[in-house]
Amino acid sequence: MPELFLRQELKLQQKLVMTQQLQLAIKLLQMSRMDLDQEIQEQLTENPCLEEDLAAPRDTGPAIENPNSLDAKKPSLDEIERVATAPKEQGTQDTEASEKNEVDWDRFVDNYESFRDGGPTIRRDADDQPSFEAFVAAQTTLQDHLKWQLRLTETSEAIFGIAEEIIGNINDHGYLKAKNCEADLPNDDENPLVALAEQMKVSQLRAEEALMIIQGFEPVGVGARNLRECLLIQCRHFHPDNEELTTLVSNHLKDLERRKGKQICRAMKIESEKLSELAQVLASLEPQPGRPFSGQHNPYIVPDVHVHKVDDEYLVQLNEDGLTRLKVSKYYRSGLRGQDTDARAFIKQRLDAAHWFIKSIEQRQQTIRKVSESIVAFQRPFLEKGSEFLVPLVLRDVADQIGMHESTVSRVTSNKYMHTPQGIFPMKYFFNSRIEREGSPDIASEAVKRKIKRYIEQEEGRKPLSDQAIADRLGNEEGIKIARRTVAKYREQLRIPSSSERKALS
């Protein structure tokens, strides 16, 4: 049995160690604008040596101090203590005394009425004001809207309780949904009202009576058990005299989804033009009546970069509007006199952290500017003419031009947006794979998507282009070598249905 013992030995090896400062810089680089502002607020709370610069201009100038002068401004611990303990000159004392005795006329004018009456003056700080959320009304849900209408309806107490229970089982799309049903739109064979009536221990007739009351509420079509019932409710409400539309929904909805126009025309004994007219009316109905109460709104995007055209050049401007300005607290810079060793060490550590945080933010801004200027230089045809003229671009192209690593460019372009003359786009939008083209420069994949979309928009409704036909047309007219399955992939990414689903009713 080998002998076990402990020993010490020295070993040299090269190892990459990321300091906390480097981790912070990388973290800030890939943050979105909202996350950055939240991080700044957290740092202001945690670090007493860091404070908001309220005197800095909000619309012009840099958001924070110049990082090149940070090291020059940053005094050593001995210099801070020497300045704090040095005796003040007579001129300085006189100046401070005069400033202390000078009347604050701005404050006097703001509080003139209080000074004249001799009453007390109460000034609220920003922290004492109500939050912004206190002024925003809560959004009304679909269930709240239905219960409000139910309370205005004259009905018996028993039906009121059943209807209230039914409303609690209506999903956000406006359908009465069974508890074990995972689909947003229930099938035609499902009747969740049966299980709900058994659970409430009421008769099926009473449950149907309560459901009929709910189906008369706004939005029209709410409380339906399937898509057919939802459309029928809307047909009776908006088009009560159109019996052909009601027949189409009741008996031929499945055939209409499968584009079997000839079979529907024979069964209903109508012309194809009449069927197209009925289909257009049906398309105007709402398949999800609860959509207005879903709370799904378009997000408000604040671009990180603005691109402006001045004469014949495109200039990049960082959007620093609303970005919190930071500075190092002068109080802690000069307040080390009389402090013990532990306190001085703590203040020194916090001062270093404040300086590095400010410098990291400025480095982030400078890196975003460099990457944005490089993207603008590559994508000038897009800025001039639109998405069909996007230039093939990868991260390595930008990284080589600005002398940075690809991972840095990837972090810069994550969760950030650029406002261009063509609109607001994610910065990742400008990076596209390269597709070969005969006799012409290569083209970006996003430009190919736009050409496919344009072809489909110009096609005949009765003879839609197949994926193979689109691929052949791209090859013949544009010289773009692309496979049918690639066209299908791009079409699905554009959320365009297949040719059979796009075919007009005949």
Q: Which of 48, 88, 46, 45 is nearest to 333 (CA)?
A: 48
| Domain assignment present for 344 | no
| Domain assignment present for 5 | no
Tell me whether the omega of the peptide bond preceding residue 464 falls within 30 degrees of 0, making it cis: no
Contact between 449 and 493 under an 8 Å Cβ cutoff? The reply is: yes
| Domain assignment present for 220 | yes
Distance in angstroms (rounded) separating the CA atoms of residues 400 and 394: 10
Domain ends where: 260, 289, 318?
A: 289
Query: Cα angle at 462 between 461 and 465, to 5 degrees?
Result: 70
| Domain assignment present for 333 | no
| DSSP bridge partners of 480 | 437
Q: In sequence order, what are the residues at sequence separation of 6 or more whose Cβ sits closer than 8 angstroms to the Cβ of residue 404?
A: 367, 370, 371
| Domain assignment present for 228 | yes
pLDDT tens-place values along the chain, 506 residues long: 667 778 888 888 887 777 777 888 888 888 888 888 888 999 888 888 888 877 665 544 434 444 444 444 444 444 444 444 444 444 444 444 444 444 454 554 455 444 444 444 334 444 445 555 555 566 788 999 999 999 999 989 999 999 999 999 999 899 998 655 545 555 555 688 888 888 889 999 999 999 999 999 999 999 999 999 999 999 999 999 999 999 999 999 888 888 888 899 999 999 988 998 999 899 899 999 998 887 655 567 888 999 999 888 999 999 888 788 888 888 777 766 656 777 778 888 888 888 889 999 999 999 999 999 999 999 999 999 988 888 899 999 999 999 999 999 999 998 899 999 999 999 999 998 888 888 778 888 888 999 999 999 988 877 889 999 999 999 888 888 889 999 999 999 999 988 888 877 65
Six-digit token pair at 37?
């502002």
| Domain assignment present for 442 | yes
Question: What per-residue confidence (pLDDT) applies to 68?
Answer: 44
Q: In sequence order, what are the residues at sequence separation of 6 or more whose Cβ sits closer than 8 angstroms to the Cβ of residue 483?
A: 471
Q: In sequence order, what are the residues at sequence separation of 6 or more whose Cβ sits closer than 8 angstroms to the Cβ of residue 290?
A: 142, 170, 171, 172, 173, 174, 175, 219, 222
| Domain assignment present for 143 | no
CATH classification of the domain holding 469: 1.10.10.60
Count of domains in the chain? 2
Domain ends where: 229, 259, 289?
A: 289
| Domain assignment present for 471 | yes
Distance in angstroms (rounded) separating the CA atoms of residues 421 and 379: 12
- 3-class secondary structure per residue, 63-84: CCCCHHHHHHHCCCHHHHHHHH
Domain ends where: 243, 273, 289?
A: 289
DSSP state of 222: T
Domain membership of residue 272 as a residue range = 173-289
- Taking the complete model, does pTM exceed 0.75, yes or no? no
Contact between 485 and 442 under an 8 Å Cβ cutoff? The reply is: no
Please tell me the chain's helix, strand, coil percentages from 3-state DSSP, rounded to the nearest 5: 55, 10, 40
